[in-house]
Structure 1
Amino acid sequence: LVVGDPLDAATDVGPLAPAGDPARLAALVDDAVAAGARVAGTRASVPDNGHWFAPAVLVDVPAAAAASRDEVFGPVAALSTYDDLDDAVAQHRATGYGLAGYVCGTDVEAAREVSRRLRAGIVGINTGTPNYPGAPFGGLGLSGTGYEGGPQGLEAFQTWRTTAVVGGAAS
């Protein structure tokens, strides 16, 4: 992936907003590698000035690694395999987070069954982009508060008021 100016059509990944994010993401990758994960492939080069982080795909990430149990919010993918689906779902639920979940597979009905077991505000089956402006999007558990998008997101900007009047003359 090309890391660079988001206005350049050749760019795949732009800069990070918070100045501390490159160091935070590097610490997540280092922690995962120290716990036994490995970085797949090669890392992209990044521009010299600004807040950049080369995308990283971590393979065989132990459940104890921060990249596996915390929300990353950056170009880091923590992958791990499983032998027992119940254990995989239990690991997901044990994090306490539930912003989004993703299920991939050729048996869509089986994927739907797995998606029902996930504790997430939005789930993509065979897609990395399950949300769109008309769909409510928000997390469960430790993942945020409220929703954006769809009618549920608009409710966050509404205020309700009840006025009760007893007696008095009508004007």
Structure 2
Amino acid sequence: MPQVRVTGRVTTKSDIFSFGVILMELITGRKALDESQPEESTHLVTWFRRIQLNKELFHKAIDPVISLEEETLTSIGTVAQLAGYCCAREPHQRPDMGHAVNVISSLSELWKPSDPDSDDSYGIDLDMTLPQALKKWQAFEDGDSATSSFLASLSNTQHSIPTRPAGFAESFTSADGR
């Protein structure tokens, strides 16, 4: 029986490539495919590989909303290097996601807001759990009833799904479905 070669399938190596593209998008603020750019810059991955080799070009390519302090530049360099590895041309040259997570998590302590008391944080302690932060945000937004209703609905979602649908037989087991 002849073997059929499967093409275009999603694998962990294509997932890591996609992750690398996302990292490149975050660093540059550009889309993966931007036809408004000149032809040599249309494809983010190709363009990124080229500019990454030149420190001056690379610094100019970083999204302008990112403050370029020395510590930030070092972190961006690490993430850019990871993005390049994730988007290696040959799938076997790409790291696995565990490696990518280790690299990113090693930087997570450095990526705290530079001014935790700024208006952008809405007075939320970044060490709070998500439900605590939502409640505090809800209190902050108390004048906006649409936001309050939405947040209230989020906090009640865990109770809105019944454990057993109404009318579902108590005696039904997985063996009955065979």
Sort the TM-score into its range (normalised by shorter chain).
under 0.3
| Greater helix proportion | 2
TM-score by structure 2 length? 0.27
Q: Which has the higher contact order (CA 8 A, sep 6+)?
A: 2
| Greater strand proportion | 1
